[in-house]
Chain A
Amino acid sequence: MAGLSLEKTLEKKASVSRLRRQPRWGETIIQSLLFFSGFFSIFTTLGIVYELGKEALLFFQMPEVNLIDIFTKTKWQPHTGEFGIWPLFTATMMTTTIAMLIAIPLGMAVAIYLSEYAKPRVRTTLKPILEVLAGIPTIVYGYFALTFMTPLLREVFGRDLVQIYNTASAGLVMGILILPLITSMTEDALSAVPRSLREAAYGMGATKLEVALQIVVPAALSGIAAAIIVGISRAIGETMIVAVAAGAGPNLTLNPFEGAETLTGHIVRISGGDLSYDSIDYNSIFALGLFLFIVTLTLNIISQAIVRRFREVYE
């Protein structure tokens, strides 16, 4: 009896050990491949930081370049050795400002309309249309700016006032480009506000507008702020519209009807020809790229932080 039970226990132990975890090399290899894929994006970021940093450093070490001049001089002319970032910077600020003046009010109005007013059927037809707008390549917007917006502006404000290449046209069209981005992010934020908040406000006798502007919008403010910041970051990094329509040649001006070259527009124009390595032009685009990367990355991180920090969590 006792012997039999011992035998049984041994048998049991053997079968348990067979079930025990065994090394599976196939699984391990696959898992490490998957881990590599996941880690790959870190390489991309490191690559960006390393390459931009390295070449930018070479740029700053060049005898023609000094850091004080970059922020005090008002001309960016690589050929004559003048490197003042202001003309590029002001042009970028101008196109971004004009774009946001269009995109923020329009984008928010459309989002409020879609989320608070539109009937489900209207919403389901309108949203894809806005998505189409978001899916059109930016070079097409560039064509639109040059062949539609610029002639329109010249017609309205006069040909003497508005140059063929101008930041106003590029900025306005960029606003249309960014509109769907702001709309969809804002609308997501608005629809995340729970129904009960609206019902409570209606119960107190509020009108639809009061509910929308005084209850829903404040409740979704963190999402809206994030949308605006992402929009700004997108506008700063936008390239083809300004490359086509804003003008070729750095120009320090605050007149939106004059041509000027933005950071991105300058990078594209400089690298358009066959750029020789280690020339000052080659190194300068890395320095400008690094600046652009830091600015947009900071904005994106701020936007994510706002969402995390100030998000209202509803049960």
Chain B
Amino acid sequence: MKEKAIVQGFSDNLGARNRKGTIWYVLFQASTVIGILALIALVLNIINGAFGYVAYEARVDPDTLAVDGIPLTDQSKEQLVALLQSTLSSGAYTKLENDKPFAERSREEVYQLIVERIIRPEVVQVWNLWPSLTQADEIRATLASEHPDAELDFISWLSKDFVTRPQTSEAFTAGVRTAIFGSLWTILFTILLAFPIGVGAAIYLEEYASDNRFNRIIQTNINNLAGVPSIIYGILGLAIFVRTLEPLTSGEIFGLVDPTTASGRTVLSAGLTLGLLVLPIIIINAQEAIRAVPRSLRNASFGVGATKWQTVWSHVLPNAMPGILTGTILAISRAIGETAPLVVVGASTAISFDPNSPFSKFTTLPIQIYQWTSRPQDEFRSLAAASILVLLVLLLTLNASAVLLRNRFSRRY
């Protein structure tokens, strides 16, 4: 009798407790779903912006530019240059010649100039992918009544041309080649600074440093640096690389000053700034990789009479390398996506020529995205979406190679 009462006491509110459990379980699961939905919304939103209908009006009809019945698209470079010379004011023409002599420009570049300066297609309105797919008829109807002269095209802002064209101020001819090269140049110097020093620091901390106060300070300092907001690194880069080390970062002491810059706001400064930013990440990852190499390997090496460095170089590093490289790739993908420090260091707003030396002015993909996103016109938002896709593909490739590297070479002891 008594036992039964106790059992009943136990199970009295069991139903309520279980119900509560179910409710919370649903809440937990819903939160997870919300997180995933956010990711999906993010991706769909970008795709939505990167494709769709565009209505535009040419300020000069290309048909009127035909010479002797040859349409503009088939004319030779010389004809195109002549056209530019006759149409533009002499001041504007001379400026173009000074930027880059026409003799050095390809036909393709000259054609771009004509589209940009003479035909000047003007965007009337831009639609995202979703309305373009669902309300195509309405779009046509409103356009026909409001802008009868405008042409309507379904375009993909992300295209082969978009990736290979330099940056311009006109939405139709703008591309991200300048920005891609800027990113690559910047990352090169980031790696050159951060990889050797980062791996060296990790080796020092894991293999050489004794557990004393000083080395603990170094370790704590690295952990703290990893948490410093990236914009602080930008300010540091501005003060040290751009300003204090200006003779070095502008190429002055090598006599290599880019005539258009003559300041420290160069690829080199940007790369070094990002190098400082990712250094703690590389160190922490490399430390983990080195720590995972078993003691026995080192002892075996010491046992046959190898010195400390021989042991590290021939046994520890080769075994830790996949882990170190994976960590480095992750750090690089962080650096490629960084925007704020580069804005502070002084990325250029409009350059249309690829960087060709460490002392060139620079723009990078994220900077380009930032500038296009900040402009109020819809067509530039679409360009931003297209360049985000380029950036994400680049990052995805990097991350996939990191995962592959980890799976391919990871060893278990």
Contact = CB atoms under 8 A, between A and B. Distances in A.
Say whether A and B bind each other. Answer: yes
B320 interface: no
A144 interface: yes
Nearest to A277: B243
A310 B229 CA distance: 26
A126 B405 CA distance: 21
Given A130-B35, A140-B391, A44 B230 contact: no
Interface residues of A, number: 86
B112 interface: no
A271 B346 contact: yes
Interface in B367-400: 369-370, 373-374, 381, 384-385, 388, 391-392, 395, 399
A199 B201 CA distance: 43
A67 B119 CA distance: 57
Contacts of A225: none
A110 B28 contact: yes
Given A37-B201, A51-B235, A274 B346 contact: yes
A41 B221 contact: yes
B224 A147 contact: no
A253 interface: no
A239 B230 contact: yes
B200 A41 contact: no
Interface of A is mostly: helix
Interface string A112-147: 111001000000001001101101111111111011
B182 interface: no
Interface in B66-85: none
A267 B231 contact: yes
A97 interface: no
Interface in A202-261: 205, 207-210, 213, 230, 233-234, 236-240, 243-244
Contacts of A138: 337, 339-340
Contacts of B60: none
Interface string A97-109: 0000000011001
Contacts of B229: 233-234, 236-239, 264, 292-293, 296
A133 B35 contact: yes
Interface in A15-41: 24, 26-27, 30-31, 33-41
A185 interface: no
Contact of A143 (B32, B208, B384): B384
A31 B309 contact: yes
A289 B232 contact: yes
B221 A45 contact: yes
Given A106-B34, A286-B235, A139 B339 contact: yes
Contact of B231 (A27, A30, A126, A237): A237
Contacts of A146: 373
A148 B384 CA distance: 14
A-B pairs with the 8 shortest C-beta distances?
A: A237-B229, A137-B337, A37-B200, A109-B31, A38-B204, A239-B340, A113-B28, A209-B21
Given A40-B197, A240-B366, A271-B343, 10 more contacts: A52-B235, A109-B27, A129-B39, A137-B395, A141-B42, A143-B46, A147-B385, A179-B35, A239-B230, A240-B370
29 contacts: A33-B200, A38-B200, A42-B221, A45-B221, A47-B240, A52-B236, A106-B34, A110-B32, A113-B28, A113-B29, A117-B25, A126-B32, A137-B338, A139-B369, A143-B384, A144-B45, A146-B373, A147-B385, A176-B42, A205-B10, A209-B25, A210-B17, A233-B229, A239-B230, A244-B370, A293-B228, A293-B229, A297-B228, A300-B227
